[in-house]
């Protein structure tokens, strides 16, 4: 069998790869999609770190994924030292897992961040307005924001302070792995973009 049939639709391995990217684009644009919030892993020397992020963009032709973050965060600092990155997506409704591996390009203070920053809502700008860096310890349980900022009592002009902390991580996907859990037999495929080679795998 050189195809996989899902909901009566047969996919060749090339069609499956295209469909994975359609699902990723959908994940980026729809907050209700399970692919909207992948887990992203980075390396801190020998130690692994993993966390949830919001998928903001997926570019099928460029094989690129993007998420936003605070440039003071651990993940940003880790990626500055080691650009190796992996992202994991799982949709429980379709029982599909997608795992990508790649290299991170960090965008800060460039046209990509400027354009994305313009589109961020006041509410999400709050994430970039803490005085203390993310992950710094506190003697009290706090968001790190003043009461005014917490309650969104600030102007658009005041929110611009956050731009200096706003960064975008672009994942240049080097390989992607698809796994479908199916009662009649699981299926798995590997898409190697470095060697331009798509192959089925034993799950
Ligand atoms: C649903 C959800 C979405 C999140 N989205 C982001 C995000 O897009 N960017 C981000 O930096 N942190 C996001 N976070 C917070 C991270 O998971 C993490 O706790 C924080 O960024 C600190 O990670 P770090 O210390 O590894 O840098 C999100 C958390 C949750 C639960």
Q: Is 53 in the pocket of ligand 1 (CB under 6 A)?
A: yes
The predicted model scores a pTM of 0.97
**Cβ atoms within 10 Å, residue 67:** 22
Residue 154, pLDDT score: 86
> One digit per residue, pLDDT tens: the chain, 203 residues?
799 999 999 999 999 999 999 999 999 999 999 999 999 999 999 899 999 999 999 999 999 999 999 999 999 999 999 999 999 999 999 999 999 999 999 999 999 999 999 999 999 999 999 999 999 999 999 999 989 898 888 888 889 999 999 999 999 999 999 999 999 999 999 999 999 999 999 99
Q: Is 124 in the pocket of ligand 1 (CB under 6 A)?
A: no
Distances (CA, A) of 172 to 19, 47, 97, 110, 145: 18, 22, 19, 18, 33
Give all domains of the chain, ordered by start, each with its CATH number: 4-135+151-201 (2.30.110.10)
Q: Is 30 in the pocket of ligand 1 (CB under 6 A)?
A: no
Contact 43, 78 (CB under 8 A): yes
């Amino acid at each position: 069998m050189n195809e996989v049939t899902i909901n009566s639709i047969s996919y060749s391995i090339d069609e499956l790869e295209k469909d994975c990217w359609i699902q990723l684009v959908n994940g980026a644009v729809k907050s209700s999609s399970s692919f909207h919030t992948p887990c992203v892993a980075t390396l801190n020397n020998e130690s692994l770190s993993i966390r949830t992020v919001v998928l903001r963009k997926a570019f099928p032709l460029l094989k690129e994924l993007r998420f936003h973050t605070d440039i003071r965060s651990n993940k940003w600092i880790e990626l500055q030292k080691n650009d190796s990155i992996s992202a994991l997506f799982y949709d429980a409704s379709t029982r599909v897992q997608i795992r990508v591996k790649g290299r991170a390009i960090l965008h800060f203070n460039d046209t990509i961040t400027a354009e994305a920053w313009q589109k961020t809502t006041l509410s999400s700008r709050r994430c970039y307005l803490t005085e203390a860096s993310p992950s710094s310890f506190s003697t009290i349980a706090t968001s790190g924001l003043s009461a005014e900022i917490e309650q969104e009592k600030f102007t658009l002009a005041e929110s611009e302070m956050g731009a200096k902390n706003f960064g975008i991580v672009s994942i240049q996907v080097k390989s992607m792995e698809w796994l479908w859990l199916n009662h009649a037999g699981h299926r798995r495929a590997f898409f190697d973009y470095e060697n331009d080679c798509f192959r089925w795998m034993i799950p």
